[in-house]
Amino acid sequence: MRIEYLADHLDWAPQIAGLHYAQWRELLPDWSEKEALEELLSHRNRCAIPTSLIATQGSELVGTVSLVVEDHEELLMYSPWLANLYVVPSWRGRGVGTMLVGNILEEARALGISRLYLYTDGGEGFYLRLGWRLLERVRLAGKDAAVLVFDLPADRQVPVDRLQGFGIHHRPEFHYRWRDDPEDDICTG
Ligand SMILES: CC(C)(COP(=O)(O)OP(=O)(O)OC[C@H]1O[C@@H](n2cnc3c(N)ncnc32)[C@H](O)[C@@H]1OP(=O)(O)O)[C@@H](O)C(=O)NCCC(=O)NCCS
- CB of 103 within 6 A of ligand 1: the answer is no
On the 0-12 / 13-18 / 19+ scale of CB atoms within 10 A, 119 is buried
Beta partners for residue 117, in sequence order = 81, 149
- CB of 123 within 6 A of ligand 1: the answer is yes
| Cis? peptide before 50, omega within 30° of 0 | yes
- At residue 143, the pLDDT reads 94
Domains of the chain: 2-184 (3.40.630.30)
- CB of 24 within 6 A of ligand 1: the answer is no
**What is the value of pTM for the model shown?**
0.86
Which residue's alpha carbon is nearest to atom 2 within ligand 1? 97
Cα separation, 159 vs 163, whole angstroms:
7
- At residue 187, the pLDDT reads 52
- CB of 147 within 6 A of ligand 1: the answer is no
- At residue 154, the pLDDT reads 57
Distance 153 CA to ligand 1 centre (A): 25
- CB of 93 within 6 A of ligand 1: the answer is yes
pLDDT in tens, 78-95: 999 999 999 999 999 999
- Residues of the chain short of pLDDT 50, as ranges, are 156-186, 188-189
